[in-house]
Amino acid sequence: MNPMRCRTAGELKRLLTVAAFAAVSLIVVDCSKSTANKSAPPLPVNVVTVVEKEVNEWDEFTGRLDPVESVDIRPRVSGYITEIHFEAGAIVKKGDLLYVIDPRPYQADFDRAKAEVDRMDAQLKLAQIELNRSKELRDKNTISASEFDQKAATFQGSAAAKSSAEAAKNSAALNLEFTQVKSPIDGRVSDQRITVGNLVQPGAGPESVLTTVVSVDPIYAKVDADENAVLKYVKLSEEGKRVSARTAKIPAWVELGNETDFPHEGYVDFVDNRLDPGTGTVRARVVLKNWNPNFITPGFFARVRVAGATPYRAALVADKVISSQQGLKYAFVVKPDSTVERRNLETGSLFEGKRIVKSGLKDGDKVVSTRLQLLQAGMKVTPVPEEPPAGGTDAKKTPAQSQNGK
């Protein structure tokens, strides 16, 4: 017998023995794990109860506060400033006196025009008397028809002269009135750009501006709506799911740069008639009451929120119960047999601090809120209720207090 063959056969036998022992060991370990799994207690987890509510999804735009009225105060007559009757930055009322232009030349013009009216009135009365006398003489055939016609023409000329004099008097009165420069609106006045003693004259250039007045209440928030948002609103309006801002006052809420929860309510009162091809936006504005006219002035940065669609019912949950994998949102729901199942979700924006879930959850579902990294579909758990429920809030909020998600 070949010794090498015997040695090889012996080694083969030993290898088979080792392999058999290893297989038995693996089986024993696997059985031990299976037994351990079967004997492991259910995993304790906190759960929240899904609550459905009527929700709004919001669109948000940025812009600036703008005055409803803004007026450049300019002189209507030439002259020297003799008086200033306002403090820079003060609130003024319509008709309040701001500047006085030296009225003496215009008073003299008015007096002259008034005297001319009186003179023309006297001439007209004389012409009337002579015309009446001419009528009597004509009836008696004492004067010729041409003489009568001359008297009638003199009367008509005197009447026209008086009308011209009265027009000149009215013009002089206007110029005299214009020496008192008054505010045409209620609002806040700017500074004095012209001081006493300076010559002013009418004009359209910036050098003729004496000051400016802007209204403060109500106030506009002007924004630019992007093309996609406008197209969405058009589609919703065509489907009857949203009224058009062109035909109805769409509610809107405003907040300033240091505010949250959009506390100031107004409505959309204007949408422009064209889209700017350069920016791809449409101008729109919201009108609202100025909640603090002493401090809130045109020019402040503002965010505006409007409803993006008709309100609808949806599930609300906290963001912490939602997991994400490769862009897919999901949550674990506890079934009646205390096992968990994975639900894929379609989510929306935030509403009253909770995430809108458009599909995947329904009212009353028990959603796991803790130890999510340990969960697998089909796993047994011990659900422990967590307060408050997923759809609850600590305090009642208005729709304007919801927040958009990112």
Q: What is the pLDDT of residue 292?
A: 93
Question: How many Cα neighbours within 13 Å face the side chain of 164?
Answer: 9
Select the more confidently predicted residue: 82 or 133.
82
Q: Poorest-confidence range of 14-23, 343-352, 365-374?
A: 14-23
Interval 213-223: pLDDT, tens:
999 999 999 99
pLDDT band at 405 (very low <50, low <70, confident <90, very high): very low
% of the chain at pLDDT higher than 70: 85
Q: What is the pLDDT of residue 399?
A: 41
Residue 395: pLDDT over 80: no
Model pTM score: 0.67
Q: What is the pLDDT of residue 15?
A: 54
Q: Does residue 268 sit in helix, strand or coil?
A: strand
Question: How do strand 43-49 and strand 381-385 relate by DSSP bridges?
Answer: parallel
Answer yes or no: are the C-beta atoms of 403 and 353 closer than 8 Å: yes
**For residue 296, which phi and psi values (nearest 5 degrees)?**
-85, 115
pLDDT band at 78 (very low <50, low <70, confident <90, very high): very high
Averaged pLDDT for residues 242-256: 90
Q: What is the pLDDT of residue 13?
A: 58
Q: What angle do CA 184, 208, 98 make, to 5 degrees?
A: 35
Element (H, E) at 134: helix 104-139
Averaged pLDDT for residues 187-196: 95
Q: Structural domains in the chain? A: 43-56+311-400 (2.40.420.20), 59-68+217-307 (2.40.30.170), 72-214 (2.40.50.100)
Interval 5-60: pLDDT, tens:
444 555 655 655 555 555 545 444 454 444 444 556 899 999 999 999 988 888 99
How far apart, in whole angstroms, are the C-alpha atoms of residue 50 and residue 47?
10
Averaged pLDDT for residues 248-272: 93
Q: Detail the DSSP E strand segments found in 206-261.
A: 211-214, 219-226, 250-256
Interval 119-136: pLDDT, tens:
999 999 998 998 888 888
% of the chain at pLDDT higher than 90: 64
Residue 267: pLDDT over 90: yes
Q: What is the pLDDT of residue 142?
A: 80
Interacting residues of 145 by C-beta distance below 8 A, sequence separation 6+? 138
Interacting residues of 262 by C-beta distance below 8 A, sequence separation 6+? 253, 254, 255, 303, 305, 400, 401
Averaged pLDDT for residues 383-401: 55
Answer yes or no: are the C-beta atoms of 220 and 70 closer than 8 Å: no
Averaged pLDDT for residues 161-188: 96
Q: What is the pLDDT of residue 38?
A: 52
Select the more confidently predicted residue: 392 or 185.
185
Interval 201-212: pLDDT, tens:
999 988 999 999
Select the more confidently predicted residue: 395 or 169.
169
Peptide bond into 388 cis (omega under 30): yes
Q: Poorest-confidence range of 192-196, 265-269, 324-328?
A: 324-328
pLDDT band at 146 (very low <50, low <70, confident <90, very high): confident
Q: At what angle do helices 145-178 and 104-139 cross, to 10 degrees?
A: 160
Q: What is the pLDDT of residue 131?
A: 87
Mean of all residue pLDDT scores within the chain: 86
Q: What is the pLDDT of residue 357?
A: 93
